Structure 1
Amino acid sequence: MKTTGVNFRHLYYFWVVAKEGGITRAAERLGVAVQTISMQLSLLEQSIGKSLLTQQGRRLVLTEAGRLALGYADQIFLLGEQMQDALDEADIGRTMRLTVGISDALPKLVAFRLLEVALKLPQPVRLVCYDGAFESLLGDLALHKLDVVLTDRPVSSGTSLRVFSHSLGECEIMLFGVRALAERYRSGFPDSLNGAPLLLPTRNSAIRGRLDQWFETQGLRPEVVGEFEDSALLNTFGSSGLGLFPAPSVLARDMQERFDAVPVGEISQVREQFYAISNERKIKHPAVEAILTATGDGIFRFRDDANAA
């Protein structure tokens, strides 16, 4: 059957529906009525002679033809958006926008170190940072609401999202505390941790599982007096003297200068990892590329200076 060709406005509405996961959310994003979206989808399906979406219970799901069409729509509209971004940034001296998602569990001082690379580019960069849960940030990245996500874990190999994990480095974990606590528990470390007050990340953090396993292997039973999803909040409570708390060894100097906390001991068997998650872009973002390529030059080279503190 001969079709009448694709109307790209209709195709764009279909693309937004597929990305947002439903007609209602697509209508909210586009600022149009739900009926308008439904009509555009119907006209698109009539023009190409194929059903792209089907009702499954209370949800709309892509048909096989819809999945095929979405792959092409991704290339068409994402490339168009990236072209506009590139044209906007082509003006000499114009500020480049970098929208970053930072997962709750990632130490914010590590995020700052990673983003310093982008801030040193010749072209001025305007940072827009969002803090949130890992899965939520990945969804925004897949929708191109973010340019990159900085986190403490890679994306699961089974994900259907078209995003990619890039390792930025890793380092050992140290326990820190205010001076009075540090002096009390430093002697005899790690056996001194039995019964010691401890502040830890919540169990959905990648590093928490490694710490719990280390405590079990060492036969240690510290007293967990607080659990925090946000690393900055954990550090703040740690600086109040509520308990000992973990942080990457590369931040030893920062812990002392910002939180008046000093090392108690290093847990060399437990390492924290750092990742940048990017989406699929035909046109690369210069600031994201700077972050990804700078690791080879040693983003974490400042560790030696930190440990000298």
Structure 2
Amino acid sequence: MNEWLNYHHLLYFWTVARTGSVTAASEELRLAPSTISGQIHQLEDVFEQKLFRRSGRSLVLTEFGQVVFRYADEIFNIGRELMNFVQGRAVGGPLRLHVGVTEVVPKLVVRKLLEPVIAMDEEVHLIISEGHTDELVADLVRHHLDIAITDAPVGPESAVRTFNHLLTESGIGIFGTPELADGVRDGFPQSLDEAPFLLPTSNSVVRRILEQWFDSLGIYPKLVGEFQDAAQLKTYGESGLGLFPAPLLVAEEIEAQYLVERVGAAEGVREKFYAVSIEKKERNPAVIALLGHD
């Protein structure tokens, strides 16, 4: 007996057994019935046993054929599961997208960036995790994440080769409660000098570029709070503890959600948001939708 199994022959057998006839299998496989019949006979020669027997005009699986069909069914179901995995789909479920996000990226921005994924015709199961950039890169390498969203590209100093995709960029606005906003609106931005301010921690890109903007204008706000998490920063801003920066990309959402007002914009200051991957060519359709290209 030949110990090498021809999986094309097994597929033809499986399709005939599943559809109930050579004619139905030929329509599904787009092959001539004679081709399918001939290759099933070759498979029987390899097994040295019959897979089908005639019952009137119908083909019926032999006892041996029933056992082979169960194996074939399992083989091709596993094949479908493999393709689901390659394409980012959960086995037997919707398309899966696990996104890692650095804490400094505002949640409202993440939601806006994910709009193309949410708008897909196909159902998508979203999983969102937070962490430092180096942690997210490590999770990408371990295939625990499909993509990471950061406020800066991963540099060449990383031990892992990464691909940085610019998703969008936004101007920076200064926001505050109506009372704080009224006090600094006139004479903006010089009016920010010595005004109470909440800023991201020093490891964030927006903190560094804002401090450069303050220095260029000779403005020295009073720093009353520093936050790793962008959502916490806005929550304390909502309480009136201080003015705070946020992307103009989601200005309307911030004003509505936190009941604050925009004082003005930090002219010339831009914040960028990146998707970081370790795959040069993405296969997951949800990642492709996020990146905006195929």
TM-score (norm 1): 0.65
- In structure 2, the residue matched to 1:199 is 198
- 1:242-290 Cα deviation digits (max 9, x unpaired): 0000001111111111000111110022111010011226661100010
Deviations 1:159-194 (A, max 9, x none): 221321000121110100011110111110011111
Structure 2 letter corresponding to 1:174? G
Shift of 1:235: 0.7
The one-letter code matched in structure 1 to 2:89 is E
Structure 2 residue 157 is the aligned partner of structure 1 residue 158 = yes
Contact map agreement 1:82 1:283 (CA 8 A) in 2: no
- How many correspondences in the alignment? 214
Secondary structure in 1 matching 2:283: coil
Q: Residue 158 of structure 2 aligns to a residue in which SS?
A: coil
Displacement after TM superposition at 1:119 (Å): 1.3
- Inter-partner Cα distance in structure 2 for 1:88 and 1:254: 31
3-state SS of paired residue (2:289): helix
* Partner in structure 1 of residue 189 of structure 2: 190
What is the Cα deviation at residue 199 of structure 1? 0.2
- After TM superposition, give the deviation of residue 95 of structure 1 in Å: 0.7
- Would you say the 8 A contact 2:200–2:228 is kept in 1? yes
User: For residue 212 of structure 1, what is the aligned residue in structure 2?
Assistant: 211
**Residues 1:180 and 2:145 aligned together:** no
What SS is found at the alignment partner of 1:271? strand
Please tell me the residue identity of whatever aligns with 1:251: V
Secondary structure of the corresponding residue to residue 154 of structure 1: coil
What letter is aligned with 1:280?
A: E
Work out whether residues 197 and 244 of structure 1, in 8 Å CA contact, stay in contact via their aligned partners in 2: yes
AA at the equivalent of 1:114: L
Counterpart in the other structure of 1:171: 170
Specify the alignment match of 2:284 in structure 1. Answer: 285
Deviation at residue 82 of structure 1 after TM alignment: 7.0
Separation in structure 2 between the aligned mates of residue 165 and residue 283 of structure 1, nearest angstrom: 12
Aligned to 2:241, what secondary structure does the other structure show?
coil
1:144 paired residue number: 143
Is the Cα contact below 8 Å between 1:144 and 1:279 reproduced in 2?
no
Over 3 Å counting, the alpha-carbon distance change for 1:88 and 1:267 in structure 2 is: closer
Unpaired stretches in structure 2, ≥5 consecutive residues: 1-80
Q: Hey, what's the Cα distance between the residues in 2 that align with 1:214 and 1:208?
A: 10
- Partners of 2:169 and 2:87 lie apart in 1 by 36
Supply the AA of the counterpart residue of 1:208.
R
Instruction: Give yes or no for contact 2:188–2:264 (8 Å, CA) kept in 1.
Output: yes
Aligned to 1:86: 86
- The question of whether the paired residues in 1 share the 8 Å contact of 2:90 and 2:96 is answered with no
Distance, in Å, in 1 between the alignment partners of 2:119 and 2:162 is: 26
Distance verdict in 2 for CA 1:164–1:282, change over 3 Å? closer
- Look up the match of 1:256: 255
Q: What displacement does 1:238 show?
A: 0.5
Give, as a single letter, the amino acid of the residue that structure 2 aligns with 1:103. T
Equivalent residues of 2:88, 2:285 under 8 A apart: no
1:239 positional shift: 0.6
Cα distance in 1, alignment partners of residues 282 and 116 from structure 2: 20
Consecutive unaligned residues in structure 1, runs of 5 or more:
1-80, 297-309
SS at match of 1:274: strand
Amino acid in the other structure paired with 1:150: I
Deviation at 1:143, TM superposition (A): 1.6
- The one-letter code matched in structure 1 to 2:176 is G
Cα root mean square deviation, aligned: 2.2
CA shift for structure 1 position 104? 0.7
The match for 1:114 is 113
Match of 1:74 in 2: none
The answer (yes or no) to whether the contact 2:198–2:242 under 8 Å persists in 1 is: yes
Provide the secondary structure at the position in 2 that maps to 1:233.
Answer: helix
Identity %: 44
Structure 1's consecutive aligned runs of 4 or more residues displaced over 6 angstroms after TM superposition are none
Using a 3 Å threshold, how does the CA distance of structure 1 residues 82 and 116 change in structure 2: closer, same or farther? farther
CA distance in 2, matches of 1:249, 1:135: 27
What secondary structure, in the 3-state scheme, does the structure 2 residue paired with 1:89 have? coil
2:270 match: 271
- Residue 126 (structure 1) aligns with: 125
Deviations 1:178-237 (A, max 9, x none): 111101111100111111000000000011110111111110111000000010110111
Aligned mates of 2:98, 2:272 — CA distance in 1: 22
**What CA distance in whole angstroms lies between the structure 1 residues aligned with 2:210 and 2:82?**
41
SS in 1 for 2:249: helix
